[in-house]
């Protein structure tokens, strides 16, 4: 399926290895609290987990990894936590961009960047430009991201760029303006930290994604935990609206 097309319009090709994994990295605060440490210590440890998960995804030939780092609702947190998170983000950008590039990783950020410190915006731009032609893994950070924001900004762009009336109001037209239009829809969604909710992450793109929830807190999420999620994915039957019998027939026809 060409990128940007929609699973509700065309049945995507699927395989035993997910092409795109999207993760809500949750549980940093609780991890720190369990150790009588400040919440930011959990976030710091969470950055270490990100490094490990990128490495594991590359070893497994996964093409797209999308991580939810800061939601449009996370501004509601105490000011000092938000400030620390921003410092951590800036520090990680400064340290990691060259390493990502050396590893052949394409780096992208999705979300409303207008609220960020100009220094953060600058590093994001440098990182995206430097790594734009890399093909090994597309690593996306969702920052000040919200699924509703994404659909709204896509609508606004679609309306603004439509020259002829009546407007072509179909899915194919809209999806090219969604912020993840360069990626296929996620095959596997993982949320750590025990909550079973989407928290305004990729509302549009998760339409037919396989969902996996684990109680493991994000700082404890390691290669073995990723393997468990992939194993769970491999047991799913992705029907996209069809019956199980139809799928079995298609498989035996292929030989
Ligand atoms: C996820 O961990 C990281 C962000 C939302 C930035 P939390 O900070 O939500 O951790 P818990 O859910 O309080 O344990
Ligand atoms: C979701 O986690 C956002 C990120 C991981 C960035 P939250 O911890 O903010 O989600 P809720 O508030 O428990 O739904
Ligand atoms: Mg949380």
Residue 84 beta carbon below 6 angstroms from any ligand 1 atom: no
| pLDDT at residue 113, rounded to an integer | 96
The answer to the question of residue 14 being in a domain is no
The answer to the question of residue 80 being in a domain is yes
Contacts 24+ apart (CB under 8 A), 196-201: 198/24, 198/147, 199/24, 199/68, 199/71, 199/73, 200/71, 200/72, 200/73, 200/146, 200/147, 200/148, 201/22, 201/24, 201/68, 201/71, 201/142, 201/145, 201/147
Helices (H), 132-207: 147-161, 171-175
| pLDDT at residue 1, rounded to an integer | 40
| pLDDT at residue 10, rounded to an integer | 85
The answer to the question of residue 59 being in a domain is yes
Q: How many residues are given for the chain?
A: 255
The answer to the question of residue 5 being in a domain is no
Residue 24 beta carbon below 6 angstroms from any ligand 2 atom: yes
| pLDDT at residue 99, rounded to an integer | 97
Distance 26 CA to ligand 1 centre (A): 5
3 state SS of 140: strand
105 and 137 in contact (C-beta within 8 Å)? yes
* Residues surrounding ion ligand 3 at CB below 5 Å: 26
3 state SS of 83: helix
| pLDDT at residue 12, rounded to an integer | 86
Residue 74 beta carbon below 6 angstroms from any ligand 2 atom: yes
One digit per residue, pLDDT tens: the chain, 255 residues?
A: 445 568 888 888 888 999 999 999 999 999 999 999 999 999 999 999 999 999 999 999 999 999 999 999 999 999 999 999 999 999 999 999 999 999 999 999 999 999 999 999 999 999 999 999 999 999 999 999 999 999 999 999 998 887 776 677 888 889 999 999 999 999 999 999 999 999 999 999 999 999 999 999 999 999 999 999 999 999 999 999 999 999 899 888 887
Residue 199 beta carbon below 6 angstroms from any ligand 1 atom: no
Structural domain tally of the chain? 1
> Using CA atoms, how far apart are residues 52 and 161, in angstroms rounded to an integer?
41
The answer to the question of residue 179 being in a domain is yes
Q: By residue range, what is the domain housing residue 194?
A: 20-161+170-254
| pLDDT at residue 4, rounded to an integer | 52
Strand 105-110's sheet: what is its strand order? 105-110, 137-145, 64-71, 20-24, 188-191, 210-213
The answer to the question of residue 152 being in a domain is yes
26 and 195 in contact (C-beta within 8 Å)? yes
| pLDDT at residue 15, rounded to an integer | 86
| pLDDT at residue 170, rounded to an integer | 86
**Which residue out of 199, 200, 201, 216 has the highest number of ligand 2 atoms within 8 Å of its CB and is therefore the one to mutate?**
199
Domain holding 249: CATH number? 3.40.1180.10
Residue 194 beta carbon below 6 angstroms from any ligand 2 atom: no
Ligand nearest to the CA of 27: 1
The answer to the question of residue 184 being in a domain is yes
> Using CA atoms, how far apart are residues 134 and 100, in angstroms rounded to an integer?
10
The answer to the question of residue 12 being in a domain is no
CA dist 148 to 71, 72, 169, Å? 11, 10, 18
- The set of catalytic residues is 26, 74
């Amino acid at each position: 399926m060409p990128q940007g097309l929609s699973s509700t319009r065309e049945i995507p090709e699927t395989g035993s290895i997910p092409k795109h994994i999207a993760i809500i990295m949750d549980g940093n605060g609780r991890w720190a609290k369990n150790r009588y440490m400040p919440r930011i210590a959990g976030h710091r440890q969470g950055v270490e987990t990100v490094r490990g998960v990128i490495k594991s995804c590359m070893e497994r030939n996964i093409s797209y990894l999308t991580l939810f780092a800061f939601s449009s609702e996370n501004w509601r947190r105490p000011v000092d936590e938000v400030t620390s998170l921003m410092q951590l983000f800036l520090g990680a950008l400064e340290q990691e961009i060259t390493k990502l590039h050396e590893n052949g990783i394409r780096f992208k950020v999705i979300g409303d960047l207008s609220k960020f410190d100009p220094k953060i915006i600058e590093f994001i731009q440098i990182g995206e430009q430097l790594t734009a032609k890399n093909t090994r893994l597309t690593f996306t950070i969702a920052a000040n991201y919200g699924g509703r924001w994404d659909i709204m900004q896509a609508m606004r762009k679609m309306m603004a760029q439509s020259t002829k009336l009546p407007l072509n109001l179909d899915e194919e037209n809209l999806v090219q303006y969604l912020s993840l239009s360069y990626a296929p829809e996620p095959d596997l969604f993982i949320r750590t930290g025990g909550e079973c909710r989407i928290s305004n992450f990729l509302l549009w793109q998760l339409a037919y994604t396989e969902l996996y929830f684990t109680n493991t807190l994000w700082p404890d999420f390691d290669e073995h935990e990723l393997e468990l999620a992939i194993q769970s994915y491999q047991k799913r039957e992705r029907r996209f609206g069809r019956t199980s019998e139809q799928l079995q027939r298609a498989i035996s026809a292929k030989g």
